[in-house]
Amino acid sequence: MILSAEYGVPDGGKLGDLLVLGVESSCDDTAAAVVLSRRDGSRAILSNVTLAQYDRHAAYGGVVPEIAARAHVERIDGIIAQAIEISGHTFAELDAVAATAGPGLIGGVMVGLTAAKAVALAHELPLIPVNHLEGHALSVRMSEEAAFPYLLLLISGGHTQLIEVSGVGAYRRLGTTIDDAAGEAFDKSAKLLGLGQPGGPMIEAAAKGGRTGRFTFPKPLARREGCDFSLSGLKTALRLEAEAIERPTAGDVADLAAAFQAAIAEHLADRTARAMGIVEQGENGARTLVAAGGVAANGAIRARLEALTQDRGWRLVIPPAKYCTDNGAMIAWAGIERLRAGLAPDFATALAIAPRARWPLAEPIAGREHGGGKKGPKA
C-alpha cells in the first residue's frame, strides 16, 4: 500500500489490493465485514456478520434507541472479531477501517464509530467515516456490474429517497418521503395486522395468496408535482379497512396485506417514473435504475420496478437481499470507493469526526474534496 505523506491515507490513483473492515451500527443491526477489492477491479466479500436486535425491541413495537445502543455496546467487539476471523485475515493485514458515522440513532452510531476509531488507532490504519446512505447508494457496485451514472431508489426502514448518483460523492436528491419511510410503513402496518417484526417480510409472507383487488387504497400525492413520497396515508387507509372487519380471518389479513403491498409498489413506481423522466431530460445520461435498502427485498416491489424499467427501456439492478438490508460490507465498500477516488479524509480529520444523527447525502462531507481535508465535519 502506498501512503501519501501529506495525508497519511492511501493514494487513490496508485492503490493495489485493498482489504477493508466495515462497521455498521446506525439502527438495530450490529454488523461488521471484511471486503477485498483487487487492483484488477474484482472484489470479494470475505466476511459479512450481522446480528439483528429484533428480540430486544419486540415488546415495544419499534426500535428503542437506548436499548439499541446498549446492545451495540455489548456486541460490537465480538462482531468485529468474528468478521476478522471469518475473513481468514488479521487486523494487521487490513488496509483501512470504514465505519458508519451517521445518519442514524446517535447512540448506536457512536458505538460503531468509536470501536472503528479504536481499531484504527491500535493498528495504525486509515479511518474512513462513511455516510450510511452512501453505503446503500454504492453497495450495488460491490456485488453487481453497475457503472456510474444511475438513478437510485433507496427504500429502507429509515429512508425513502430517489438519488441521482453520478459518481463517488456526486449525488443529487430528486425526492424524499414527506412522512414515513417505506420500511416504517411496512413495520407499523404489520404491527396493526398482528404480524411480527420486521414488518416487511411478514407482510410479504402474509400477502402470498391474498387478492390485491379486494381493497382499494388511495394514490398518495397523485396531484403533486415532483418525486416526493408519502406513505402514512396508505398506512391509515389500511387501518381503516382493517378496523371495519369485525373478526379478521387469515384470508382477510392476506387480502389486506396484498392490497397494501401493491399500493406501496404502485406509489414507489409512480414517483420513480417521474424521477426517470427528470433524468432522461438531463445531461447525466443515466438509464439504469438501482433499488437498494431493506424494502428492495420485496418481490412485489421488484416485479413492479421490473415492469416500469422494461417499459421505458431502462436497466434495473437490485443487489441480493443480504446486501440490500443494513450490513457491514456496504460500509467497507463505500470506504473502498472513497479510497480509490482519493476522497478519504486524513487521519486527524477522520479521528475528529463526530457521530451524526442527521447527515443528508447531498451535503458535502469532510474529505479532500472540501478544503484539502483540513476541515472538520459540519456539526
Q: Is 134 in the site for ligand KG4 (CB under 6 A)?
A: no
Q: From residue 356, give the alpha-carbon distance in Å to each of 102, 255, 369, 375.
A: 5, 41, 20, 16
Measured distance CA(83)–CA(58) in Å, rounded: 26
Q: Is 169 in the site for ligand KG4 (CB under 6 A)?
A: no
Q: Which three cell numbers stand for residue 228?
A: 416526493
Q: Is 112 in the site for ligand KG4 (CB under 6 A)?
A: no
Measured distance CA(98)–CA(336) in Å, rounded: 8
CB of 100 to Zn ion, least distance (A): 9
Q: Is 200 in the site for ligand KG4 (CB under 6 A)?
A: yes
CB of 115 to ligand KG4, least distance (A): 19
Interface with ligand KG4 in residues 242-261 (CB under 6 A): none
Q: Is 183 in the site for ligand KG4 (CB under 6 A)?
A: yes
Q: From residue 297, give the alpha-carbon distance in Å to each of 44, 71, 155, 181, 194.
A: 22, 25, 10, 15, 21
Residue 186 or residue 347: which is nearer to ligand KG4 going by CB?
Answer: 186
Q: Which residue type sits at 124?
A: E
- β-pair type (170-176, 160-167): antiparallel
- Residue 204 binding partner per list Zn ion, ligand KG4, none, with a CB distance cut-off of 5 to 8 Å that depends on partner kind: ligand KG4
- Cα 185 to its chain centre, rounded Å, is 16
CB of 159 to ligand KG4, least distance (A): 7
The number of residues that bind ligand KG4 (CB under 6 A) is 19
Interface with ligand KG4 in residues 316-335 (CB under 6 A): 325-326
Sheet containing 127-131: order of strands = 43-52, 29-37, 18-24, 96-102, 127-131
- Binding segment for ligand KG4 among 155-163, 265-273, 276-284, 352-360 (CB under 6 A)? 155-163
Q: By the criterion CB under 5 A, which residues form the site for Zn ion?
A: 156, 326
- Residue 272 binding partner per list ligand KG4, Zn ion, none, with a CB distance cut-off of 5 to 8 Å that depends on partner kind: none
In the block, cell 396484498 appears at 258
- Residue 297 binding partner per list ligand KG4, Zn ion, none, with a CB distance cut-off of 5 to 8 Å that depends on partner kind: ligand KG4
Sequence-distant (6+) residues with CB within 8 A of 240 are: none
Q: Is 24 in the site for ligand KG4 (CB under 6 A)?
A: no
- Cα 324 to its chain centre, rounded Å, is 7
Measured distance CA(344)–CA(3) in Å, rounded: 12
Residue 261 or residue 284: which is nearer to ligand KG4 going by CB?
Answer: 261
- Binding segment for ligand KG4 among 15-23, 39-47, 195-203, 251-259 (CB under 6 A)? 195-203
Q: Report the residue from 12, 135, 293, 355 that binds ligand KG4 according to the rule CB under 6 A.
A: 293
Q: Is 361 in the site for ligand KG4 (CB under 6 A)?
A: no
Residue 199 or residue 367: which is nearer to ligand KG4 going by CB?
Answer: 199
Residue 108 or residue 293: which is nearer to ligand KG4 going by CB?
Answer: 293
Q: Report the residue from 158, 345, 373, 377 that binds ligand KG4 according to the rule CB under 6 A.
A: 158
- Binding segment for ligand KG4 among 85-93, 145-153, 181-189, 364-372 (CB under 6 A)? 181-189
Measured distance CA(215)–CA(244) in Å, rounded: 12
- Residue 24 binding partner per list ligand KG4, Zn ion, none, with a CB distance cut-off of 5 to 8 Å that depends on partner kind: none
Measured distance CA(297)–CA(324) in Å, rounded: 7
Provide φ and ψ at 254, rounded to 5°: -60, -45
Q: Which three cell numbers stand for residue 366?
A: 469532510
CB of 283 to ligand KG4, least distance (A): 31
- β-pair type (18-24, 96-102): parallel
- Rg of the chain over Cα atoms, rounded to whole angstroms, equals 21
In the block, cell 457496485 appears at 141
CB atoms near residue 355 (< 10 Å): 25
Residue 139 or residue 349: which is nearer to ligand KG4 going by CB?
Answer: 139
DSSP 8-state class, residue 353? P
Residues that bind ligand KG4 (CB under 6 A): 27, 156-158, 183, 186-187, 198-201, 204, 293-295, 297-298, 325-326
